[in-house]
Structure 1
Amino acid sequence: MTKKNRNKLLITAAVLFTSMTSCDSLLDVTPKGTYTTATYWRSQSDAINGVTGIYNVLLEEDFTGHAEFTFDDPSDDQYRAGDHSEDVAIENLTYDAGNAQVRFGWKWKYEMINRANSALIYIPKIATMDDAIRNRCLGEARFLRAFAYWRLMLIYGEAPVVSEDDVLTGNYNKPKVSIDSLRSMIQTDLLAAADLLPDTYESADRGRLTKGSAWGLLCKLYMYWEKLDQAIVYGEKVINSGRYDLAPTYVANFTPETSNNDEMLFAVQTSDIWGYSDFTTYYTPREWNGWNFHQPLKELVDEFEANDQRKAVSIMSPGDKINIGTTIATYNANMSETGYHFRKFSYWKPNGGLNYSLKTPLLRSADIMLLVAEAKIRTAGAGAGDAEINKVRKRAGLDPVAGAGMPALIHERRMELSGENERHQDLMRWDKAQLIDITTYYNKPKYGKDNNILVPARTFVRPKHYYFPLPQTEIDKSNGVLIQNSNY
């Protein structure tokens, strides 16, 4: 736990610049100075701005601003590229507890938890407040705390829990809890969030969390918990609600003007004029204002079916004409070590430069549809998930499938969610359930555009590589309270 997390929450002007609205005029917040819990949480506007400050953590480069997506580099979809030495060990499965990437996001997850705890402690004490706004704020805090623990659980397996009581008593040096304990806490927060959050928002508040956000993350939680029946229940709440339908086109999810659509259950909210995130910069070719990280491999590109409309949206391929704002440029293989870039995360302003209004997707209805399809296939057999799979395929311009089993489901998730930080976790989840042999995916090299070896064959070790080690710096600071994960 960092010193920052041991202190009571300070909400500064920076917190107030990330209002989750889609109207720029409502984002212009006058700086109000520095506050402590002794002088804040007095009014409804304090509650709204304080909760907005929890969302603000998502913009951090060492959280979803970039670092979280590095944990997908071991997958068979992408090559790390870039110039971060710590990423080499992540991709090669040779990391240890001293790896910088292992520690980067830890503090920001607990910063999000800390801010959420403060909101949950003090918002109920605000004397005069609209009940609907109070409930919404509490629901947002519960969801965002659950999301931080969700990411801790996926990456580390076991981690400490810091509750509201711990904040009030200053008890921050906590031992880690089991995976099932984390899952139970995440479940409790998400069920509460689903009760408290609204179904939808008016346009000014588009991008804030909804009931569908909580149901969707519950569906994912139950899939990782192997509670498939429950995953179907909460996934179908999303699908059957009539409020969180797929966007009419795949590209709408990756276009600044339309990326806050009904399908986007949870996304990092940015605007080119106020909410800069490094995410877009990392994925974009260096020649076109980016930093050249996370390049798709030919193996991924080749798996797209003919006429799959997602390919042109997702991938920059040699010869593609790309609108980089000031001109229509031609992509060529020499811009990348693999011969390709992800296209879905890059957008440019008409006068040049990257457009940071593109939202970073963290949870989409398409993901939930495919999880429901998987749960149905695994509980009722091949063909049981055809309706959900075919809805996703229809939007992609593809013919329907019949009698789809796990191979078809695995293919569809790979195509639909490429580059969205799902593949590595999916492969590990399926391996744990003995649906695949992950070593056949990882114990082989990754090849570049000239058929050169970019990454040598890795050795995936079960159960060691299912989780990353806890940061050694945190273990050292705990004075023996925090115990390292086994196998590290």
Structure 2
Amino acid sequence: MKKIFLTLSIFSLIASCSDDFVDIKNEGTVDVEDFFKTESDAMQATNAIYSFLRSWENTGFPAQYVFGVTGDDVEKGSNPGDASFINAYDNFSFTISDDGVHGYWTGQWQAVQRANQVITNVPNIDMDTTLKNRLVAEAKMLRAYFYFNLVRIYGGVPIFDGLQTNYIQPRNTAAEVYAFIVKDLTEASAILPQTYPAGQEGRVTKGGALGLLSKVYLYMKDYQKAYDTSNLVIGMGYKLDPDFNHLFRPAGEFGTESVFEVNCGCSAEFGGSQYAEVQGVRNQFGWGFFTPTQALENAFEPGDVRKELSILREGETTPEGDLIKKGDPQAGNSWNQKVYVPTSLNNNACGYGSIQNLRILRFADILLINAEAANELGNTSAAITNINLVRNRAQLGNTTASGQGALRTAIWQERRVELAMEMDRFPDLVRTGQAATVLGPLGFKSGKNELFPIPLRAITDSKGVLTQNPGYN
């Protein structure tokens, strides 16, 4: 398969714009101007966007320490000296020059540029019109997802709608970015199918676009639209997997609860992902990073089956028969069980856990989005119905909360334990105004750490056009 050589020039978002930079064509690649001629080109270019979803930037260290250890349910893990730079995210001491801050920024912009190549060039290809429109819609949904990541972490960022000659642009406001995301998701949802033929699992769907849109509306605090849109998703036939353990095992992939899921299957084309490996039991399955905190342990109610099915402990035997090692002082004593792949199912051709899919959006999240939006609108009965669906699957009784304030707290708590270690906790704390209280003891500073800094290299290469977030210098 030929590779797409996409010339990128977004200041330091992707590559340096220094005058002495020479763009040398790699052997076996094709320039973008010689590409986008056939239907096959269109499909390959769209698949290149999907390949980023399973990339290091989106499933490995950068995403995990930006969205993960900044919350209070995940800490660095491994032994103290291993990748000690991650400690800066545990205690909010990262700076504008931090490689992690820059790495996540760069990765998301690479993905945006891939999407923009498809959105701009595929409409000009002489090919099946239905497929053409669908591929552009897929690219728009994926671009919306990448912008959603960017706006939650960095705030307002430049909007690049298509390919441009000048990428040195000032930041748009967060409100403008959210409006851009809504537009992409609305247009995508009008075209995307709800299902695909067998063998195409992982391509984004109408339900995925509407589900992500409902979450975006929740972040915008547009509760009526979050409620209405999540109701559309609820009406599409998704169901909670009755077995929480099955949900996160390979057999549960693309099941009834899957709304937006990354296909990370080990293949000759893509080679799996490292999402599970970086978090797997150290010296047994993986590297042992991004482990559950004591605070997360304490957050579960007695009898909640999610506790033991989310946290993998030393010395335990898993339901699939793996004995987890113990007594290794370099390994830690608990890990993220949601990423665990049984030894009997592991594909050694791509490394441990490479077949483990990344669940970006589950139906349980949709139910809790709907519950939160309903409660904010004063519809406590609808909120209680949906929070109870999630609780009952965890073998818990119905919520005892009544009244808008108590129910709001109960929904936030349910999000925490249901979505534990799925990279939602930090942005949820910021979104709901809890970050200063919960994360303050860890080093979080109100008025600063709600956002990450814009990387110094990006500001320098933009010749000062990009401005910094408050509190960073």
Q: TM-score range by the shorter chain?
A: 0.7 to 0.9
Structure 2 match to 1:428 = 430
- Secondary structure at 2:71 match in 1: coil
Residue in structure 1 matched with residue 3 of structure 2 by the alignment: none
Tell which has more relative contact order, 1 or 2 (C-alpha 8 A, sep 6+): 2
Aligned CA-pair RMSD: 2.5
CA deviation map 1:461-483 (0-9, x unaligned): 22211100001111111112111
Q: Give 1:383 deviation, angstroms.
A: 4.5
Cα distance in 1 for residues equivalent to 2:165 and 2:69: 37
Matching of residues 1-12 of structure 1 within 5 Å = 1=10, 2=12, 4=15
Where structure 2 has 5 or more consecutive residues not aligned to the other structure, the ranges are 1-9
Letter in 1 for 2:249: T
Structure 1 window deviating more from structure 2 (476-485 vs 464-473): it is: 476-485
The one-letter amino acid paired with 2:452 is F
Aligned to 2:59: 64
Please list, as runs of the form range in 1=range in 2, the aligned pairs for 1:299-338 lying within 5 A after superposition. Answer: 299-322=295-318, 328-332=322-326
2:362 aligns with 364
- Give the TM-score normalised by structure 1: 0.85
Matched to 2:225, the amino acid is: Q
List runs of 5+ in structure 1 lacking aligned partners: 14-32, 445-457
Is 1:271 matched up with 2:271? Answer: no
Looking at structure 2, the residues matched to 335 and 362 of structure 1 have their Cα atoms a distance apart, in angstroms, of 33
Change (3 A) 1:198 1:148: same
CA contact (8 A) 2:39 2:126 kept: no
Residues 137-156 of structure 1 aligned to structure 2 (within 5 Å): 137-156=135-154
Distance 2:25 2:339 in 1: 30
394, 398, 401: which one pairs with 1:400? 398
The range that moved more, 95-104 or 42-51, is 42-51
Q: CA deviation at 1:419?
A: 0.4
3-state SS in 2 of match to 1:362 = strand
**8 Å contact kept, 2:53–2:262:** yes
1:479 aligns with 2:463: yes
Q: Decide which of 122, 130, 133 is 1:132's aligned counterpart.
A: 130
The whole-number CA distance in structure 2 between the counterparts of 1:42 and 1:119 is: 12
Letter of the structure 2 residue corresponding to residue 90 of structure 1? Y
Distance 1:323 1:237 in 2: 36
Residue of structure 1 equivalent to 2:6: none
Equivalent of residue 389 in structure 1, options 387, 390, 395: 387
Contact 1:383 1:402 in 2 (8 A): no
Offset from partner CA, 1:177-206 (integer Å, 9 cap, x none): 110011011111010110111011122211
1:342 aligns with 2:344: no
The change in CA–CA distance for 1:336 and 1:390 in structure 2 (over 3 A counts) is farther
Residues 1:236 and 1:63: Cα distance change in structure 2 (over 3 Å): same
CA drift of 1:251 comes to: 2.2
Aligned amino acid, residue 427 of structure 1: L
Contact 1:158/1:485 (<8 A) preserved: no
Amino acid at match of 2:387: I
Q: Equivalent pairs: percent with the same residue? A: 29
User: Contact 1:283–1:294 at 8 Å: present in 2 too?
Assistant: yes
Q: How many residue pairs get matched?
A: 443
Q: Distance in 1 between matches of 2:49 and 2:146?
A: 11
Tell me what 1:39 maps to: 34
Distance between the aligned counterparts of 2:273 and 2:244, measured in 1?
Answer: 22
Q: Which amino acid aligns with 2:448?
A: K
Q: C-alpha separation between the residues in 1 aligned to 2:429 and 2:181? A: 22
Distance 1:373 1:106 in 2: 32
Q: Deviations over 1:94-121 (max 9, x none)?
A: 2211111111111221111111111111
Residue 460 of structure 1 and its aligned partner are, at CA, apart by: 2.6
User: Is the 2:211–2:229 contact (alpha carbons within 8 Å) kept by the matching residues of 1?
Assistant: yes
Counterpart of 1:122 in structure 2 is: 121
Counterparts of 1:262 and 1:56, CA distance in 2:
24
Report if aligned partners of 1:63, 1:104 keep a CA contact under 8 Å in 2: no
Partner of 1:443: 440
Q: Secondary structure at the match of 1:160?
A: coil
Shift of 1:43: 2.1
